Amino acid sequence: KGMSGTFRLVESYKPKKPMETMIGVAIKAVNEPKEASVGMIKKYIREHYPTLDIENRMFLLKRALEKGVKNGELEQITGKGAS
């Protein structure tokens, strides 16, 4: 199983790696009061970064979301996270 739930950027968000940057851009682009589901983030990355092949590299997204929550850069609003 993968990630689930919705996420929101915290005010001090400063991305350090490309996947973290993509997540931040995706959350801002979704424009749902600064929150986005994993599916919405994945769809945005798939559409705007097709060379990444996110379908076969979900571990990158999962790891970046987990790290963002752990470091306080992202706030997980709903869902259980990684399983």
Q: Looking at the 3D structure of the chain, how many domains does it have?
A: 1
81 found inside a domain: no
What are the tens digits of pLDDT across the range 61-82? 999 999 888 988 888 888 876 5
Please give the average per-residue pLDDT across 21-33, as a whole number.
81
In terms of residue numbers, what domain contains 69?
6-76
Q: How far apart are CA 15 and CA 51, in angstroms?
A: 20
Give the pLDDT score at 47: 92
Q: How far apart are CA 42 and CA 46, in angstroms?
A: 6
First to last CA, the chain: 6
1 found inside a domain: no
74: three-class secondary structure by DSSP: strand
C-alpha angle 10-15-16 in degrees, rounded to nearest 5 = 145
Please give the share of the chain, as a percent, with pLDDT higher than 70.
Answer: 81
Secondary element (H or E) of residue 4: none
